Structure 1
Amino acid sequence: MLRLVLLLIMFMPFCCFSQNIEVSGGVQSTEGPLFGVSVFEQGTTNGTTTDFKGNYAIRVNSGATLVFSYLGYKTLEIAIDGNTLNVTMEEDASKLDEVVVKGFDNVVGRARRRAESVQSIPESVVTFTAQAIETKGINNVQTFADQIPNVNFTTSQNIGNNFITVRGISHIRNGESPIAFVIDGVTLPDPNLINQELFDLALIEIVKGPQGALYGRNAIAGAINIVTNEPTNTSRNKIQFGYANGNLLQTQLSSTGPLVKDKLFYRVSGSYKKGDGLLNNVTLNMAPDFVEELSIRGQLKAILSSNTTATLTGQYMDAEAGAVYYASPTTGNPNIDADDFDNLAIQGDQFGRSTLDAIYGNLKFDFNLGDVKLTSSSSYNKGERNHIGDLDFTPADVLRQIQDSNTETINQEFRLSSTDTNGKVNWDLGAFYQKLDKQLITDATADFGFFAPPFQPTGTQSRLAIGNFTNTYNTIAAFGFLDFQVTDRLTLSAGLRFDRDNIQQDNVTENTNPEKTDSQLQPKLSLALKATEDMLLYANYGRGYRTGGFNQGNTVRYNSDFEAETTDNYEIGMKNSLWGGRFILNLSGYYIDFSNQQLYALVLDGGNGNILIGNFNVPESESVGFEADLKLRATNWLDILGSYGVSKARITEGTSTVSTGANETINVSGNNTPLVPQDSYSFGLESRFDITKNVSFNGNVNLEGTGKIYWHEDNVAVSSGYNLLNARLGVTFNKFTINLWGTNLTDTEYITEFFAQTFSNGGSDLAWLGQPATYGASIAYKF
């Protein structure tokens, strides 16, 4: 039966070819690309819409007339004369003068690897267009993740140490991310790079639920799909400067245009920021959270023939920041509540530093073969992360630490996709190969004078712990995805992916070389019903998969290896576009059944003094939740935005070892899954309007809430929820834009990570403090 399904997915698309000609091009206004423009063949129901870059492609009869329609612009009717048609639309003054409240734009995204309306996708998807990215001041994942229900993103320890939780599926330290991080169609497997500085973007999408069939390896909880602006055939430039408290200087630039008109185009963009920090180390009397980061990206796009294009992308990142500035108790009692900010302070005697260097390259070829497009994507990624700093987190020079976390990745993907806009079937087929090397080197030193009579420092640091191992993943995969329009209102989608991960470890510390293979078939099914013109109902099922791996060795809390994690995901939802598009309400509910959910543990190995970190599994877990996302255009100058999510995740079967003087194994069945906020919400007001013909205003204010979090599987350490208030105001006149912005304006105290050290076999409890109030200004110039 399985072979029959695979054959149907592979051969069904080739029965759907059409003999019509394909016409493609771009649609823009005097301000830039227009997305969501209706493009249809006159006298037929054959049509499409432009994507977020203003591009479209449609198959029509030879000699047909295309009609371009967009609210507020004059409708154009243009006879076809060739395979390329670029259009510039003009504003319709008579419509603009009418006192009519317009609905939200029909946002077009690529959540399923092709341009389509977000409101027609049978998935939970949140999309930020280029305009929204600029208006909201989005410059990294953290600046938008908390506006999405049941998504939580935090950082700690050092630059590149990122944690994301989606619907009860968490990122575990030194493990695989549960969400695919995709830039221009290429998945970056290094979780160190997830919170890199984002700039010069066309689109950001977050799609929840398992996405292996479309986004690849380890997309067990979803995908973050980021699309950068492409090189263009016209010259455009932008430069931006900003300054914020903590002496934070930020600048971005981009430049694009033709090197050879109509044949070869370039785009160069970059970002630089440098700041002293805002927190305070009370022992050193200085800010430990400094940052300096430089990122540069270059792109070349060549039109090799009428049906072949090539795009070469390269990116370089060089970053340095503070590290391991954990806050510890000031009372003398090593154990405190996670919310006890009066008795927490950063007081380590060592000034921590971390670095992150990364290079990335991708070569992509697109071949237009009529009704089929073939894409070849070859990429290379290398990241090197290092940190050094305190380990006892007290004013005494007792312990120090150093760690290297390095990755090197080679990817190759071939993808075959349908392009027939007339057909009832859309499909993707592909094959994928990846080789990933992950090296982790940890070291610690101690002044042993603190541990033996006469209990006084010797001034000499001696090695306490060491770990050095490399895990190598060789992955091959095949995938297919099919959309079948059963009727005008009913669409069936089916996807299938097979992953085979060969995992090898070179363990220098233990002098071992274990090896194993994980394989997983990941089906996905969706059913979408257009119940009315304004309502879409959908249901889907998907199998999620996150590969296993090897730890440094056996301890009382985990074994030398951990198993692959799988999930069965069920979701139902509805998407409503009401009141002429002025009111959008999307609702969804989900249930996730886990097998071998992966958790993280830190342990002090009393036998040899090593401080070790590793991952382990609990056999059975579950997560059930609800999400609501709404937009209301109250007037032409005021939008009301809101979202709310509930995520109840718990371990249904599992044990864990707690060291309280003895290695006690406890039953954690029925406990809440660690690191998962119990709920989250976002409420915002946005305004955008013209003051005069050449001057416009945009502004937004947003209140984000994160609910209660249990930090370990025993559920003893728990922190209360917190709320953050952010705002941004901007004025654009001619080619200049000035923005004033602020985050955490109420200066709320909160934490993003907590170690209850009694549970983890260590010393004092530790907390990673969230950023205090931050505010600044920026000016941008486009030319």
Structure 2
Amino acid sequence: MKSQSFRVLPLVPLIAALSAGLLAEEVQKLPDMQVARPVTKDVLVTLTDVPSGLDGDAGLVDLARRTAGFTVSDAGARGFGTITTLRGLGNTPFFGDSSAPVYLDDIPLATAATFPTGLFDFTSVAVHRGPQANTLFGRAADAGVIQFTSARPQSGTQSRASVTAGDHGLFAASATLLSAPTADTDVTAGFGYSQRDGYIRNTTLNQTVDDRESLSARVKFTHRPVAGTEVSLHLLGSRTRDGAQALVPLGGPFFAVQRGQEGRADTDFAAAALGFSRDLATGTLSSTTSYSNWELSPYSNRLVVFGGFDFDSVMTQTQRTFAEELRFVAANWSAGTFWSTARTRGSTDRIFSGFPIERSSFTTDADTLAVFGRGDFTVAEGWTLQPGLRAERAEKDFERIETIPGSTIIRRGEDWSALLPSLAATRKLDETTDLTLSLGRGFKAGGFSAFTGRADLAAFGPQRAWTAEAAYRTTDKENNVSYTARAYASRVTGYQIERSFAVPNSFTDEYLVVNADETRVLGFELESVWKPGADWTVQLAASVSRAELRDFTDPFTGTSYSGNQAPYAPTGNGALRVDYRPGTGFFAGAGVSWTGTTYYDEQESAMFAQRSYTLIEAEAGYAFARGEVRIFGRNLGDEEYYSAITPGVGHATPGAPLSWGVELSVGW
């Protein structure tokens, strides 16, 4: 059992900070809170420039296609079963935490199921690559941190609304409202709604399968009661009511199925954060208290498997997380503490050809405590050193109650600790060029699988990595071009791999996680922006990587898969986009994106592999003083590909087909 001191101690500095912060006298507007200067942070995408997604909003998948080294395997169920991979490190489909946690402003999310498939009204995103992010953020892991940032009121145009319509019954509407900033208060709010018909048709029932509908809203209130003090309240939520998960049999038609029943996938997400910051003589003290609640209720589907048998699944799952983060940022150093407690609950009913084969429920309690810090020192002319250190402890308690096929109870508890040093050295070669060499250690906690009835198979260990990186950045002002090139190498122990129907002579132990002793990841990334003219922009983002299992033997069959590509980690990705955007008048843009080969099992099975594919998009329109109208098209080559594969049931999620739409947006 966990001690009560572990649960309440992090609240003590928060209370002290709040008490100290309300003693000032004057009123002034503070800038956005900043962390110490990062090593590998790059604001890669301004989300207002990302075209509307196929569901009427800019989605996580659209963002990944424009970001070097970041990919999303979208399982078609609003995050459930989705895999996000950064630099060859990711989550397992159902039970592993993400290797790249997401921050929505100041709200941390640890598991990919809870990541937003639509991005509310956030305006920019930054990817903090590598384990150096451990020393900047309370919630962190072994690959980095992805941070979405919302707009704050500025002078000029404050609000914007848009309406989108297109094929497949697409309709979407959104609005972002920003109050005129005052000396002591500002408010931002956003609203979004989208719907579309499914791409997949059930020819037996003569209906579309994967219809989608979502509603989201966000509001942030910021108040400066006294000089140097800022208090904020951030609320956001979403509600989706979709049809069945988009799954089709492997090797069959991409957009047609035959089965006698369809399911649904309903999700709800809500989060709140209370923020506080106070300017002191030596730096800025800030704290964030956040709560998030994600619910999948219900998820149901029917698949035709194993030569024509019906396989029905009905599941519910929830995750509630409370977190407290305290930071102090000075001129050349920063430090912080982080504490979170989360409870994940779920229930599962599975029926095979009319016979119940599983009925179970589970609860996982997870606590995380971390202390972190980083320095930023100029040691000689043109040389900067950034040493960092993070200490983390994670604890998880697990209980699984099974009533079918047998009456069993599994109770397990594990804890893991990590000491994570990092060091970066930057050499400024001239006014526009620098070279950074860094080395750091990353950590991702282990966990438990709720889809196995055997106590000896439920637990899996943590994932730990050492990562070395060289990053070269330069800007050619004469030719209006800038680029960043990075090369990295990671040695990973305990690489987490999810297995499906992996236990010989057992039909009910469907999904569990095992650890590979050693994995090596090598990669190269290139990002560039070129402005050949005042109204022209050319953007390039590309990566190649190799995540190789160096030491992994199947624990059930004894077969060695050493030398194979790690599952879920593509061989690279890339995007090239050209835009012509004058201030007003006609504009146009086109882009092409590429995703490398991805295997969904460690055997490199051809059946469970998505070979590399290329997608084309384009848009054109007319901009006027207060808005614009545009027509856009996605997957213009009508490429057939799978956005995710589920080996255990021999099904996959097809990527979206050729689609088009028209959007009108107005600002005021």
What TM-score, normalized by structure 1, do the two folds share? 0.76
Provide, for residues 418-473 of structure 1, a one-character-per-residue CA deviation record: whole Å limited to 9, x for no partner: 1x4xxxxx2211111100111232211133xxxxxxxxxxxxx4422123111111
Among 123, 146, 152, which residue is 2:71 paired with?
152
1:232 to partner: Cα distance: 6.2
Provide, for residues 401-422 of structure 1, a one-character-per-residue CA deviation record: whole Å limited to 9, x for no partner: 111221000001111111x4xx
Question: Do the aligned partners of 1:441 and 1:468 also contact (CA within 8 Å) in 2?
Answer: yes
Closer, same or farther: CA 746–365 of 1 in aligned 2, 3 Å: same
Provide, for residues 335-369 of structure 1, a one-character-per-residue CA deviation record: whole Å limited to 9, x for no partner: xxxxx566985333321210111110000011111
Question: Do the aligned partners of 1:320 and 1:354 also contact (CA within 8 Å) in 2?
Answer: yes
1:388 corresponds to: 300
2:336 corresponds to: 430
1:488 to partner: Cα distance: 4.3
Say if 2:517 is the partner of 1:619. yes
2:620 corresponds to: 729
Question: Whole-Å Cα distance in 2 between the matches of residues 558 and 713 of structure 1?
Answer: 22
Closer, same or farther: CA 415–504 of 1 in aligned 2, 3 Å: same
Secondary structure at the aligned position of 2:341 is classed as strand
Question: Whole-Å Cα distance in 2 between the matches of residues 124 and 227 of structure 1?
Answer: 14
2:14 corresponds to: none
Say if 2:667 is the partner of 1:769. no
1:655 to partner: Cα distance: 1.3
1:672 corresponds to: 565
Say if 2:531 is the partner of 1:633. yes
Q: Which moved more, 1:700-709 or 1:124-133?
A: 124-133
Q: Which moved more, 1:405-414 or 1:348-357?
A: 348-357
Among 270, 285, 288, which residue is 1:377 paired with?
288
Among 257, 262, 266, which residue is 1:351 paired with?
262
Say if 2:179 is the partner of 1:257. yes
Among 169, 185, 189, which residue is 1:247 paired with?
169
Say if 2:582 is the partner of 1:689. yes
Secondary structure at the aligned position of 1:559 is classed as helix
Question: Whole-Å Cα distance in 2 between the matches of residues 248 and 194 of structure 1?
Answer: 23
State, as a whole percentage, how many aligned pairs show the same letter: 21
Written as runs of structure 1 = structure 2, the 5 A alignment for 1:130-529 is 132-133=49-50, 139-161=58-80, 162-174=82-94, 175-210=96-131, 211-230=133-152, 236-257=158-179, 261-328=182-249, 340=251, 345-385=256-296, 386-392=298-304, 398-418=310-330, 420=331, 426-447=332-353, 461-509=354-402, 510-529=408-427
Provide, for residues 699-721 of structure 1, a one-character-per-residue CA deviation record: whole Å limited to 9, x for no partner: 32110011122221111233321
1:529 to partner: Cα distance: 0.8
Say if 2:587 is the partner of 1:707. no
1:262 to partner: Cα distance: 2.9
Provide, for residues 275-306 of structure 1, a one-character-per-residue CA deviation record: whole Å limited to 9, x for no partner: 11223233333221211111111121111101
Question: Whole-Å Cα distance in 2 between the matches of residues 495 and 574 of structure 1?
Answer: 21
Secondary structure at the aligned position of 2:113 is classed as helix
1:556 to partner: Cα distance: 9.1
Secondary structure at the aligned position of 2:202 is classed as coil
Provide, for residues 501-558 of structure 1, a one-character-per-residue CA deviation record: whole Å limited to 9, x for no partner: 1111122224232111111111121111111222111111111111001223767998
Say if 2:580 is the partner of 1:649. no
Question: Whole-Å Cα distance in 2 between the matches of residues 581 and 508 of structure 1?
Answer: 65
Secondary structure at the aligned position of 1:212 is classed as helix
Question: Whole-Å Cα distance in 2 between the matches of residues 646 and 443 of structure 1?
Answer: 41
1:780 corresponds to: 665
Question: Do the aligned partners of 2:633 and 2:659 also contact (CA within 8 Å) in 1?
Answer: yes
- What amino acid is aligned across from residue 266 of structure 1 in structure 2? V
1:138 to partner: Cα distance: 6.8
Say if 2:631 is the partner of 1:740. yes
Question: Whole-Å Cα distance in 1 between the matches of residues 451 and 119 of structure 2?
Answer: 37
Question: Do the aligned partners of 1:124 and 1:588 also contact (CA within 8 Å) in 2?
Answer: no
Closer, same or farther: CA 558–602 of 1 in aligned 2, 3 Å: farther
Question: Do the aligned partners of 1:199 and 1:252 also contact (CA within 8 Å) in 2?
Answer: no
Question: Do the aligned partners of 2:78 and 2:117 also contact (CA within 8 Å) in 1?
Answer: no
Q: Which moved more, 1:264-273 or 1:274-283?
A: 274-283
Closer, same or farther: CA 296–734 of 1 in aligned 2, 3 Å: same
CA RMSD of aligned residues (A): 2.8
Secondary structure at the aligned position of 1:667 is classed as coil
Question: Whole-Å Cα distance in 1 between the matches of residues 377 and 436 of structure 2?
Answer: 14
Secondary structure at the aligned position of 2:49 is classed as helix
Question: Whole-Å Cα distance in 1 between the matches of residues 302 and 541 of structure 2?
Answer: 40
Question: Do the aligned partners of 1:710 and 1:716 also contact (CA within 8 Å) in 2?
Answer: yes
1:606 to partner: Cα distance: 7.3
Question: Whole-Å Cα distance in 2 between the matches of residues 290 and 533 of structure 1?
Answer: 53
Question: Do the aligned partners of 1:348 and 1:393 also contact (CA within 8 Å) in 2?
Answer: no
Say if 2:516 is the partner of 1:595. no
Provide, for residues 49-71 of structure 1, a one-character-per-residue CA deviation record: whole Å limited to 9, x for no partner: xxxxxx869xxxxxxxxxxxxxx
Question: Do the aligned partners of 1:604 and 1:610 also contact (CA within 8 Å) in 2?
Answer: no
Question: Whole-Å Cα distance in 2 between the matches of residues 601 and 250 of structure 1?
Answer: 38
- What amino acid is aligned across from residue 65 of structure 2 in structure 1? D
Closer, same or farther: CA 268–541 of 1 in aligned 2, 3 Å: same
1:390 to partner: Cα distance: 0.5
- What amino acid is aligned across from residue 351 of structure 2 in structure 1? T
Structure 2 unaligned regions, length at least 5: 1-25, 403-407
Closer, same or farther: CA 326–250 of 1 in aligned 2, 3 Å: same
Count of residues in correspondence between the two structures: 630
- What amino acid is aligned across from residue 598 of structure 1 in structure 2? Q
Question: Whole-Å Cα distance in 1 between the matches of residues 41 and 548 of structure 2?
Answer: 22
Question: Whole-Å Cα distance in 1 between the matches of residues 208 and 632 of structure 2?
Answer: 22
Question: Whole-Å Cα distance in 2 between the matches of residues 683 and 343 of structure 1?
Answer: 27
Closer, same or farther: CA 481–263 of 1 in aligned 2, 3 Å: same
Question: Whole-Å Cα distance in 2 between the matches of residues 434 and 573 of structure 1?
Answer: 33
Closer, same or farther: CA 579–256 of 1 in aligned 2, 3 Å: closer
Question: Whole-Å Cα distance in 1 between the matches of residues 325 and 426 of structure 2?
Answer: 29
Secondary structure at the aligned position of 2:398 is classed as strand
1:219 to partner: Cα distance: 2.4
1:586 to partner: Cα distance: 1.4
Q: Which moved more, 1:271-280 or 1:288-297?
A: 271-280
1:775 to partner: Cα distance: 1.0
Structure 1 unaligned regions, length at least 5: 1-22, 27-54, 58-109, 330-339, 421-425, 448-460, 658-662
Which structure has more relative contact order (CA 8 Å, sep 6+)? It is 2
Question: Do the aligned partners of 2:452 and 2:509 also contact (CA within 8 Å) in 1?
Answer: no
1:127 corresponds to: 44
1:744 to partner: Cα distance: 0.7
Question: Whole-Å Cα distance in 1 between the matches of residues 430 and 28 of structure 2?
Answer: 32
Provide, for residues 219-244 of structure 1, a one-character-per-residue CA deviation record: whole Å limited to 9, x for no partner: 21112111112356988332111112
1:742 to partner: Cα distance: 1.4
Secondary structure at the aligned position of 1:236 is classed as coil
1:266 to partner: Cα distance: 2.1
Provide, for residues 625-681 of structure 1, a one-character-per-residue CA deviation record: whole Å limited to 9, x for no partner: 111222222222222222321111111111125xxxxx6331111111112211222
2:13 corresponds to: none
